[in-house]
Amino acid sequence: MLPAAAARTLRGGHAAVGCSATATPRRAPGAALRTLVERDWQYQLERSPTYASVLGDRRFNDRWDDLSLAAIEADHRHTQQVLVQLGKLDRARLSHADQLTYDLFRRDHETWAEEYRFKLHLLPVDHMGSLPEGVRQPPGVQTAYQLADNLRFETVKDYEDWLVRLDRFGTSVDQVVALMRAGMAEGRIHPRVVLQRIPAQVEKQLVEDPTKSGFYTPFTRLPAGIPGADQRRLEATGRKAVAEGALPALRRFHQFLTREYIPAAPEQVGAWQLPEGDAMYAFLARRATTTSLTPEQVHQLGLSEVQRLRAEMERVKATAGFEGPLADFFRFLRTDPRLYFRTGEELLVHYRGLAKQIDPRPTRLFRALPRQPYGVEPTPEAMAPDVTTGLYYPAAADGSRPSRRACRTSAASAIPWPTARAGPSTARRSVTSLACTPTRTTASASSHSRCGARCGSWWTRACTPGVGRASRPSTPSSRTRHATCSTSPTRWTATSSCPARRWPTRWAS
């Protein structure tokens, strides 16, 4: 069982813990609320076993989420019962902290009730399928294999639980397909442009050799403490489970996608095509913004922001000394290679540098800080082409795994480095030097170098507007020193006169 503190990781941030929604609370409202929340948390973990596993709760490591229509209906009944129980509590008698818990807890259950009303469970797949970040968020079929990289595999039981999960993967996929078929029958299906990305994601996993499958990964790193006979048994059973269970299930899913589901998807884009589409879209707007704003109000807010930002863009263009319309300036910003990262490795080093820059700063703002560290790593290759430039994977609540920020290294050439690195003012200076003299690209080692292989601090004040040097620094050897820095290959210490002094100058790659 997870410690009580881990309960607070439930999406939405309330002090979530579990509920069976039975007897009417007769104790003090605060105690009754905490009991209700505790019981509900345990219910949600059992009903969301993949999320429980991601948190580090190993009680349900042999299961996938039950996505049958009967189970989804049972969850909805549970949600309604919890709301009835909440209605019997006097919120006014709760402490301030308990009122916050009450509000967040109620909001989650009201949101789930509306999701059920609009039958969002009949839209179970999209190109952004990933690991769950909260309860009632089953993993995407095409990314389920990533669960293996988020679990502890230390004992024979850990591996045997994974084998059972592999055996049950086919049932889980068939349940997803059943939901998709039900959605097709009711006209609830994503537009084709969303779905047509998924087959390629699945195809990358349809390997001939089961040992090359992501599902087999745990068997490639069996702990030395497991006896040799058990290791050989687990490896053989794992190969069979992947070859006869997981891979056939993925092939069935791929065949259904390409032959039936995607051909049935609408060409046009818009929630209005779905049953109760307008009402559903209004609900999704409220859910996404955590406000009561209508879609029209959100749209009007967006238009006003566009107007404000466009005026700011005009000021930046003028500051940069760029002559010509804003559209030409945009074209310059989008196409000049000096404004973008060149390689995925460069992007990864930069992000890791930012992480170390951020590390000491939260202490200025917060008294209580997370104890778990975090890391930066590339986005998994199979999903990288179809997701955003950054994803976040929460840490395990039991402390067994840090949180991770995944960056899409394959898109490095599309990510602008000045703004990502140093904010608008520095970006403005960098753009100025490029816009004024875009043809001069020489770099001075004394003012443009990077502090060696172990320092990722790109210097952002090296160019004086109008001088004409390229803002992107050169990449010297690990022993290159900046003229105003005291550095060495093993320790980098920027002096107060170094233009990179605001950046952390050392981290572990």
Beta bridge pairs of residue 493? 486
Q: Could you give the CA distance from residue 440 to residue 419 in angstroms, rounded to a whole number? A: 21
- Its domain, for residue 344, covers 339-362+375-494
Q: Which residues contact 41 (CB under 8 A, 6 or more apart)?
A: 7, 10, 16, 17, 18, 19
Answer whether residue 212 is part of any domain: no
Q: Could you give the CA distance from residue 68 to residue 87 in angstroms, rounded to a whole number? A: 29
Whole-number CA gyration radius for the chain:
27
Q: Return the pLDDT at 383.
A: 76
Nearest to 253 by CA among 138, 171, 150: 171
Local structure of 457: helix, strand or coil: coil
DSSP string computed for 355-374: HHHHTTSGGGT-SS--SS-E
Q: Return the pLDDT at 21.
A: 43
Answer whether residue 423 is part of any domain: yes
DSSP string computed for 4-60: GGGGGGSTT-----B----SPP-S-HHHHHHHHHHHHHHHHHHH-HHHHHHHT--TT
Nearest to 482 by CA among 459, 464, 453: 459
Residues in the chain predicted with pLDDT less than 70, given as ranges, are 1-27, 418-509
Beta bridge pairs of residue 374? 403
Classify residue 507 by its DSSP letter: -
Residue type, 182: A
Q: Could you give the CA distance from residue 108 to residue 116 in angstroms, rounded to a whole number? A: 12
Local structure of 115: helix, strand or coil: helix
Answer whether residue 30 is part of any domain: no
Answer whether residue 467 is part of any domain: yes
Residue type, 265: A
Indicate the helix (H) or strand (E) that contains 378. Answer: strand 374-378
Q: Where are the alpha helices (DSSP H) in 187-273?
A: 192-195, 198-203, 228-241, 247-256, 262-264
Q: Could you give the CA distance from residue 11 to residue 132 in angstroms, rounded to a whole number? A: 10
Structure tokens at 386: 């179809």
Q: Return the pLDDT at 304.
A: 97
When divided into structural domains, the chain yields a total of 1
Q: Return the pLDDT at 26.
A: 57
Answer whether residue 134 is part of any domain: no
Answer whether residue 385 is part of any domain: yes
Q: Could you give the CA distance from residue 126 to residue 135 in angstroms, rounded to a whole number? A: 18
Asked if residue 16 lies in contact with residue 37, where contact means CB atoms within 8 angstroms, the answer is yes
Q: Could you give the CA distance from residue 184 to residue 122 in angstroms, rounded to a whole number? A: 8
Per-residue CA distances from 331 to 109, 159, 413, 421, 459 (Å): 47, 53, 15, 21, 25
Q: Looking up tokens 């005009």, which residue turns up?
A: 314
Nearest to 347 by CA among 389, 404, 393: 389
Angle between helices 295-320 and 417-436 (to 10 degrees): 40
Answer whether residue 19 is part of any domain: no
Asked if residue 131 lies in contact with residue 139, where contact means CB atoms within 8 angstroms, the answer is yes
Length of the chain: 509
Answer whether residue 269 is part of any domain: no
Q: Could you give the CA distance from residue 86 to residue 94 in angstroms, rounded to a whole number? A: 12
CB atoms within 10 A of CB 150: 19
